[in-house]
Structure 1
Amino acid sequence: MAEPQPPRAARIVVYVLFFLLGIAVSVCGAFVQALWPPVGVLLALAATGATFYAGLRITGTRLGAGLPAAGWFLAMLLLIVPRPEGDNVLWSNATSLAWLFAGSVLGVICATLPTRTSWFPGVPGPPR
């Protein structure tokens, strides 16, 4: 009943790439959301959600959505900590907090979606 999985080495490479992509989206999103305040948050959230959802659909596993989310959280932890000089990447303003909260929610949602179904919710998947 289960669909065949790609070879193990290929899956590991894809998982590592999605982890690194999660880090890149987090770093880029931190600057985009601050650069264009109302629109930048939406743009950063769209990229974040697309990364998590693509990891889920391309790998067909929840780990495919969880690893970009883990990379995203790891980069967020590093960006939240202030530097000794007093510089911050993320401030405690509304846009930074909205991006942090909504990105976390997107990560949880994508990591709990069903795997190996159709690309869009409500559309039947391929016959088994």
Structure 2
Amino acid sequence: MSGRKDRARAEARAPRTNAPPRAPEPTGMAAPLNPRRIGAYIALAVLGALVAVAGALVQAAWFPGGLLLALAGAAGVFYAGRVLTRTQLGAFVPAAGWLIAVVVVLNGRPEGDFFFGGGDEIALALFVLGGMVVAVICATFAGGSISANDQERSGR
């Protein structure tokens, strides 16, 4: 009785031999535009910019802890973009929004007003360079992703 069940399971998993071959779906730059993914990238860029402004305020207020908190928030947004979109671009888009917002915030007004507090150039440099390093780490992190087509390891 169990031999029949095992054979039925094996036949259910076996590929059809009489099926016509299908062309693989295009990926990367060859893939068609997806409006949902474009909307997600725009939302991630805006979220990255908001995290940059919040991080600029926090790191200037409480130097050692605020800097770590600002970088942790940036890392969370960058990694979340990577995981949600399953692409490296998902981490780079919020990082680009973050960097643009930081550059805009760094530019003072003609009157001499400056967004960052204090004059602590070391904390400011650590914030900018640390955010860029975190973005690269999150974008290149391989993290055990599972293929959408196969739930098992691809080497089997």
Kept in 2: contact 1:60–1:115 (CA 8 A): no
Whether 1:40 aligns to 2:40 is: no
1:84-112 deviations in Å (ceiling 9; x for gaps): 11111234522111111110101111122
How many percent identity over aligned positions? Answer: 39
Match of 2:125 in 1: 97
Match of 1:113 in 2: 141
Match of 2:114 in 1: 88
> Higher relative contact order at CA 8 Å, sep ≥6: structure 1 or structure 2?
1
Out of 100, 110, 117, the residue aligned to residue 74 of structure 1 is 100
Task: Give the distance between the partners of 1:13 and 1:78, measured in 2 at CA.
Answer: 23
Task: Give the distance between the partners of 1:110 and 1:73, measured in 2 at CA.
Answer: 15
Task: Give the distance between the partners of 1:10 and 1:51, measured in 2 at CA.
Answer: 18
Whether 1:58 aligns to 2:84 is: yes
Moved >6 Å (runs of 4+): none
Aligned residues: 119
Task: Give the distance between the partners of 1:115 and 1:34, measured in 2 at CA.
Answer: 32
Task: Give the distance between the partners of 2:67 and 2:97, measured in 1 at CA.
Answer: 19
Kept in 2: contact 1:19–1:68 (CA 8 A): yes
Task: Give the distance between the partners of 2:120 and 2:110, measured in 1 at CA.
Answer: 17
Unaligned runs of 5+ in 2: 1-23
SS in 1 for 2:46: helix
Q: CA deviation at 1:45?
A: 0.4
Bigger CA radius of gyration: 2
